[in-house]
Amino acid sequence: MGGALLLSLLCFAFLKGASPSTFTVKNNCGYTVWPGILSNAGVAPPSTTGFALSPGESRAVTVDDGWSGRMWGRMLCVQSSSSSAGFACATGDCGSGTVECSGHGAAPPATLAEFTLASIGGDDFYDVSLVDGFNVPVLVAPANGSCPATDCPADLNAQCPPELRVVVAGAVVACRSACEAFGTEAYCCSGEHGTPATCAPTAYSRLFKAACPRAYSYAYDDATSTFTCAGGSAGYGVVFCPAGGSSSGMVSECVLSDPTRAVLGHVANFV
């Protein structure tokens, strides 16, 4: 093969592999959601790492070829000029003090949509994870329509055991993982329980799995929870509240008599 032809093919492969991917993030909830985005270590962030979506609103976010990271929804967020917290959210708060998360991850509990996109050839990997708990239903769907979607469509806040509940203004707004709630090695799949052979599902993770069969319910739930799609599949949809409506326990900003005090008071206690 001639050198010029080989160089042309290599340049074509590089340019093809370098095409960006687009995430279409949509809010089907009956309340505002503030998506947060965190790139994995060493991966360039997208142009935005946090924004607001009103009910029914969507936004396209473009990431570089080979991007990996996570997205999640922040709930019950307020901006306070009189508090050191600045911008803060009752669930999924990233602690940046602004709408942009800027390299900060979600404080649990938060439902996570996780992605590892192929760089040149190969497969994308994606999942919905409840390992860090639950705060809002989420759907992830490849845009090409030929790869499987994954989701946690259920309102786990309505099913959350009392010992895992996060409550704001008398309503359950999130459901903690057993690891976060109790911190034991058996629940966290750490220490002597740090392998698939020694960390088994628990009653709490089984509850999550029964409600959301395609989502990660604990750290080693790979077999039924990791999905793949050919790289360069034109992007993904990430939908909050895919079934529409509101979580039964979610408190609307309009319902709280003093939302700033309630949310910032909660953040001070739990974040």
- What confidence score (pLDDT) does residue 231 get? 83
Report the C-alpha dihedral over residues 74, 230, 149, 225, rounded to 10 degrees: -80
pTM score, whole prediction? 0.86
Q: Which residues pair with 36 in a beta bridge?
A: 50, 72
Q: What is the DSSP string of 10-46?
A: HHHHHHHHT--EEEEEEEEESS-BEEEEEEPTT----
pLDDT of 216 > 70? The answer is: yes
Which is the CATH superfamily of the domain at 19-270? Thaumatin (2.60.110.10)
Q: What is the DSSP letter of 102?
A: T
Q: Are 201 and 186 in contact (CB under 8 A)?
A: no
For residue 78, what are its two tokens? 């307020």
Sorted by where each begins, the domain ranges of the chain are 19-270
Report the helix count and the strand count for the chain, using DSSP H and E: 6, 13
- What confidence score (pLDDT) does residue 1 get? 43
Among the listed residues 73, 20, 64, the one whose alpha carbon sits nearest the alpha carbon of residue 40: 64
In the structure, what pLDDT confidence band is assigned to residue 271 with cuts at 50, 70 and 90? very low
Average pLDDT score, the chain: 86
The most confident of the ranges 104-108, 120-124, 262-266 is: 104-108
Q: Among positive and negative, which fits the CA dihedral 223, 65, 142, 100?
A: positive
- What confidence score (pLDDT) does residue 122 get? 86
Q: Are 96 and 104 in contact (CB under 8 A)?
A: yes
In the structure, what pLDDT confidence band is assigned to residue 169 with cuts at 50, 70 and 90? confident
The residue written with tokens 């991966």 in the block is 43
Q: What are 34-75's pLDDT values in tens digits?
A: 999 999 999 999 999 999 999 999 999 999 989 999 999 999
Task: Give the C-alpha separation, 24 to 105, whole Å.
Answer: 20
